[in-house]
């Protein structure tokens, strides 16, 4: 249960550190597994908990975030929990209003249209004041997990957040946001820098609150080509890893493994391999062997089963998992999907995926 009566520190001892060992490149008995969007609408209990609440009100309730984070772990033997939150809490911290519109998704009431609109954003953000509710949710959840598995914190990456702030929501082309990169490169860098600075403090704050690993989501990397990625995404991705690590050292906080997930950015895997992250998350569009060849042996890989594979019959899911494990190898590897779970997925098929990873990886390791 998620009761608020615990001391902020003195966390329970971690019982299953398989995920952290794999992230650091240490040997594991089985391949660890978790799923992006594992706390989500595919679970009836999630829909029930969320039913009466506005989405962002849920994000601001540490108790509800804790409950939603724990739900998938009551059902499946996952090797990690990821805090229930949203990447758009960062634009909110900058003073932008975001509402969740049913059937449409997150919507900014006043997206950035002109360069002058940057002046409306908070230029200095006190993350504890603006995002303290996420830190509280992390501390509460870390206690409530009782050391069962590690807790992952996360943030959106600067380009992905910038694209939402300009588009005002989802987009198939990102034409408005990309037009800024071509028309207003300096203003774009100003915005990306502002976002990066907030993200750095936000991620460090998550570790201080109890997060044991961090994932940076560059979900919209696929809308950039190699050149735009080099100019407007990669420098900030690199900088975030470096700055977070040096601040963690300064503040005598644990140096937690960091994961970069740049969706559809297979053109940038070699660069990402040297960006300062322990783990690279992969979407389902790249063959495992090719990813390993580009990234090398010193970085752990995470991914990359096509989420739609979970619509297959359970036996077929087992076969696909076995093939994936044989391709990646069972070590320096964290099994996951190549993107998040979809709302209409059958929880039993998610269970079949998790169990297949454990069973097949143990079998491969023995033989």
Name the residues annotated as catalytic: 37, 41, 50, 86, 164
CB-based contact 268:221 (threshold 8 Å): yes
Helices 62-75 and 347-366, axial angle in degrees (round to 10): 60
Query: Using alpha carbons only, how large is the chain's radius of gyration in Å?
Result: 20
Distance between CA 358 and CA 356 in Å, rounded? 5
Q: Which two tokens stand for residue 82?
A: 């990821």
Q: Which residue, among 117, 137, 242, 133, has the nearest Cα to 190 in the 3D structure?
A: 117
- DSSP of 58-87, one letter per residue? HHT-HHHHHHHHHHHHHHS--S-EE----T
Q: Count CB-CB contacts under 10 A for residue 291.
A: 20
The DSSP annotation for 205-242 comes to HHHHHT-SEEEEEETTGGGS-HHHHHHHTHHHHHHHHH
Tell me the pairing of strands 98-101 and 105-108.
Answer: antiparallel
Tell me, what DSSP letter sits at residue 6?
Answer: S
Helix or strand or coil: residue 286?
Answer: coil
Of 246, 257, 340, 264, nearest to 299 by C-alpha is 257
Which phi and psi angles does 191 have, rounded to 5°? -65, -45
């Amino acid at each position: 249960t998620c009761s608020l009566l615990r001391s902020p520190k003195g966390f329970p001892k971690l019982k299953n550190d398989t995920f952290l060992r794999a992230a650091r490149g240490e040997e594991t008995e089985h391949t660890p597994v978790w799923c992006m969007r594992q706390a989500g609408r595919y679970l009836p209990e999630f829909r029930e908990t969320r039913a009466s609440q506005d989405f962002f009100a849920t994000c601001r309730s540490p108790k509800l975030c804790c409950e939603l984070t724990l739900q998938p772990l009551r059902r499946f033997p996952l090797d990690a929990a990821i805090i229930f939150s949203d990447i758009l809490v960062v634009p909110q911290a900058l003073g932008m209003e975001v509402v969740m519109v049913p059937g449409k998704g997150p919507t900014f009431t006043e997206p950035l249209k002109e360069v002058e609109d940057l002046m409306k954003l908070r230029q200095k953000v006190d993350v504890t004041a603006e995002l303290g509710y996420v830190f509280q949710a992390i501390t509460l959840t870390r206690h409530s997990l009782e050391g069962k598995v590690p807790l992952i914190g996360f943030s959106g990456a600067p380009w992905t957040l910038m694209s939402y702030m300009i588009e005002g929501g989802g987009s198939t082309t990102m034409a408005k946001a990309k037009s800024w990169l071509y028309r207003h490169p300096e203003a774009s860098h100003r915005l990306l820098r502002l976002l990066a600075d907030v993200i750095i403090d936000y991620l460090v704050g998550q570790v201080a609150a109890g997060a044991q690993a961090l994932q940076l989501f560059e979900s919209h990397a696929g809308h950039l080509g190699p050149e735009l990625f080099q100019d407007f995404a990669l420098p900030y991705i690199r900088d975030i890893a470096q700055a977070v690590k040096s601040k963690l050292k300064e503040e005598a906080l644990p140096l937690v493994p960091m994961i970069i997930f740049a969706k559809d950015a297979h053109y940038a895997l070699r660069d990402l391999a040297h960006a300062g992250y322990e783990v690279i998350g992969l979407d389902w569009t790249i063959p495992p062997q090719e990813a390993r060849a580009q990234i090398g042996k010193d970085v752990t890989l995470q991914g990359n089963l096509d989420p739609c594979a979970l619509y297959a019959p359970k036996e077929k899911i087992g076969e696909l998992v076995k093939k994936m494990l044989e391709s990646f190898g069972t070590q320096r590897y964290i099994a996951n999907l190549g993107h998040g779970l979809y709302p209409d997925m059958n929880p039993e098929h998610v269970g079949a995926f998790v169990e297949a990873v454990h069973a097949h990886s143990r079998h491969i390791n023995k033989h």
